Amino acid sequence: MTLSNPSNLSDLPGSGNEQFKPALKTRYRWDRIFELLTWLATLISLVVLVTLLFDVLSDGLSSIDLDFIKNPPSRKAERAGLWPALMGTVWLLGITAAFAFPIGVGSGIFLEEFAPDNWFTRAIEINVGNLAAVPSIVYGLLGLTVFVDILRPITGGTSVLAGGLTLALLILPIIIVSTREALRAVPSSLRQGGFALGATRWQVIRELVFAQSLPGILTGTILALSRAIGETAPILVVGAAGYIAFAPPLSLEGLQSDFTALPIQVYVWISRAQKSFEPIAAGGILVLLVVLLLMNTTAILLRNKFQNQKL
């Protein structure tokens, strides 16, 4: 039997509109309800976000100037700045990326491309996934034990190096998971083509698979760093200072220097009883948001750059 209009249920053999119309009406009704709920959830999120941004902008935009950026903290709000906290955040990000990126990407490549499928590998995969959801304060306690106490001769105790290594542990599972997902997105035909040309497994992974998965790996890494930049609990546990008048020097000696970070500086200003510190705390939040936006923009630009490149 040839149907003139397949979408017309009355043309189906042995079926009538009376049998299917009630079910279709119910399904369409639930579809519309679900669509309205999703739009409502999105609208509520946007309203909350715009409200928070407007509140922070109205309070902190007037306090941001060159002196606010380059001055050290002060007990007087009109002279307070965030230069040590800003440089401490830059130090933390540099150390975190230097340790977490090669270890995380290398671990992800090994688990996805080289590791045998046995109980040991599966146990590692399960634990890596679980570690990505561990509260950050647990990593702070681990960093306090390992990097501050055990490795004190190397890290210098409560130093920016200890803080950066702790944050590297925090985002390491996220980078491993994102690396594996990016590698899985590469078509298997690309690997088979490389093998057919006589390339070794390492050559195929290095020249073909890794090049194709690099945009996703970089995006996941920078998003993980974006999480690390806003963490306060881990670096507080490893000894970040609530008040520091100098930034870590740009040398090897700076690795063992005392430090603070933007989230901690904002928390210190917010916790003060004087109302005059509220505008500069909002200004610190805006600076932190700008750093986050720059990092996310970098991730998008890198992803687009490598996606447009030809093999």
Domain range list for the chain = 14-60, 66-308
CA dist., res. 172 & res. 132, Å (int): 8
CA dist., res. 168 & res. 175, Å (int): 10
* Model pLDDT, residue 309: 63
* Model pLDDT, residue 188: 84
Q: Is there a contact between 96 and 167 (Cβ–Cβ < 8 Å)?
A: yes
CA dist., res. 77 & res. 62, Å (int): 13
Q: Which of 116, 15, 82 is nearest to 264 (CA)?
A: 82
CA dist., res. 268 & res. 136, Å (int): 20
CA dist., res. 238 & res. 228, Å (int): 14
Is the CATH code 3.40.50.10490 the one for domain 66-308? no
Q: Which of 170, 94, 111 is nearest to 139 (CA)?
A: 170
* Model pLDDT, residue 17: 53
CA dist., res. 99 & res. 110, Å (int): 17
CA dist., res. 58 & res. 60, Å (int): 6
Q: Is there a contact between 280 and 60 (Cβ–Cβ < 8 Å)?
A: yes
Q: Give the type of residue at 235.
A: I
Q: Compute CA 152 distance to the chain's CA centroid, rounded to the nearest angstrom.
A: 28
CA dist., res. 282 & res. 15, Å (int): 66
Q: Is there a contact between 35 and 256 (Cβ–Cβ < 8 Å)?
A: no
Residue 197: which H helix or E strand, with range?
Answer: none
pLDDT tens over the chain, length 311 residues: 444 454 454 544 445 555 555 677 778 888 889 999 999 999 999 999 899 888 888 888 888 888 888 888 888 878 888 888 888 888 998 899 899 999 999 999 998 888 888 888 888 888 888 888 888 889 989 989 999 889 888 888 888 899 999 999 999 999 999 999 989 888 888 888 888 888 888 888 888 888 888 888 888 888 888 888 888 888 888 887 777 878 777 777 778 888 888 888 888 888 887 788 888 888 888 888 888 888 878 777 877 777 666 44
